[in-house]
Amino acid sequence: MKMNRKLLIQGLTKFIAGIILVGLLVFLPAGTLSFANGRLFMGVLFIPMLILGIVLFVKEPELLKKRLGSKEKESEQKGVVALSGAMFLAGFIIAGLTYRFGWLSFPKWAVIIGTVLFLLSYVMYAEVMKENAYLSRTVEVQENQKVVDTGLYGVVRHPMYTATILMFLSVPVILGSVISFVIFLIYPIIIALRIGNEEKILEEGLEGYSEYKQKVRYKLIPFIW
């Protein structure tokens, strides 16, 4: 119970901090809380996040603990994380400025499609977490870890990254900023860099991963890559 209380406090702290940070990055550059796309984005981001967090807390507290508390140990991955952070920072700020100054924006129909795609990718992300109990925010081989090759992992080797690419490319569309979308196009490149290092570590430290690569040949997109 003590551990669960600590985990609950840690999760709520990070959740609230995330709302404050993203809110500042989106609404401060916009100069107003009336930024409708910003409010829409906050809703589709944090409401499913809260639901998923509650489900994990009740059913998979150890997985939630991994997702909340891990820090990268690999130097290459630290660089990838830093690059991702810079991308989000620039993308959110530019989205707010786009609203404020009337820069090139996506039409409403595109925002609707982006919102639907974002929510579908969230469902995919949740399914991946259900299938793989070894999911961590960091690149590492865990104790007693085994290769997962069923479900979405039988289609591509990194379905979580497929979900996050769809999710994060939807973000600037929801926010309505064409310039932010161009900035977020760097994310698939970031993921490609991450996968290269991650698969090297998994091949070296996870029994059966080389055979899994032969069985499931595509990394992110079936029949493409």
Give, rounded to a whole angstrom, the gap between the first and last alpha carbons of the chain.
45
More confident residue, 67 or 92: 92
Structural domain containing residue 112: 2-215
The stretches of 31-158 forming alpha helices (DSSP H) are: 36-59, 61-69, 75-101, 108-131
Inter-residue contact 118 to 174 (CB < 8 Å): yes
pLDDT per residue over 6-21, tens digit each?
888 888 899 999 999 9
pLDDT per residue over 20-29, tens digit each?
999 999 999 9
Is the residue at 188 inside a domain?
yes
Query: In the structure encoding, which two tokens stand for residue 42, read together?
Result: 């906050």
Q: What is the CATH number of the domain that holds 63?
A: 1.20.120.1630
Radius of gyration of the chain (CA): 18
Evaluate if residue 209 carries a pLDDT over 90. Answer: no
Q: Compute the C-alpha angle 66/20/12, nearest 5°.
A: 40
State how far the Cα of 159 lies from the Cα of 91, in Å rounded to an integer: 24
Q: Which amino acid is at 80?
A: V
State how far the Cα of 116 lies from the Cα of 130, in Å rounded to an integer: 21
Is the residue at 221 inside a domain?
no
DSSP H helix total and E strand total for the chain: 9, 0
Evaluate if residue 2 carries a pLDDT over 60. Answer: no
Evaluate if residue 143 carries a pLDDT over 70. Answer: no
Q: What is the dihedral of CA 26, 118, 46, 25, to 10 degrees?
A: -10
Quick one: 48 exposed, middle or buried, by C-beta within 10 A (0-12, 13-18, 19+)? middle
Plot region of 43 (φ>0 → left; ψ -120 to 50 → alpha; else → beta)? alpha
| Tally of domains within the chain | 1
Is the residue at 225 inside a domain?
no
Indicate if the alpha-carbon torsion angle 167, 173, 174, 179 is positive or negative: positive
Band the pLDDT of 103: cuts 50, 70, 90.
Answer: very high
Is the residue at 223 inside a domain?
no
Query: In the structure encoding, which two tokens stand for residue 100, read together?
Result: 């404020």
Q: What mean pLDDT is reported for the chain?
A: 86
Q: Specify the pLDDT at position 38.
A: 96
State how far the Cα of 97 lies from the Cα of 152, in Å rounded to an integer: 38
Is the residue at 134 inside a domain?
yes
Q: What share of the chain is helix, strand, coil (3-state, %, to 5)?
A: 75, 0, 25
Q: Specify the pLDDT at position 164.
A: 92
Is the residue at 220 inside a domain?
no
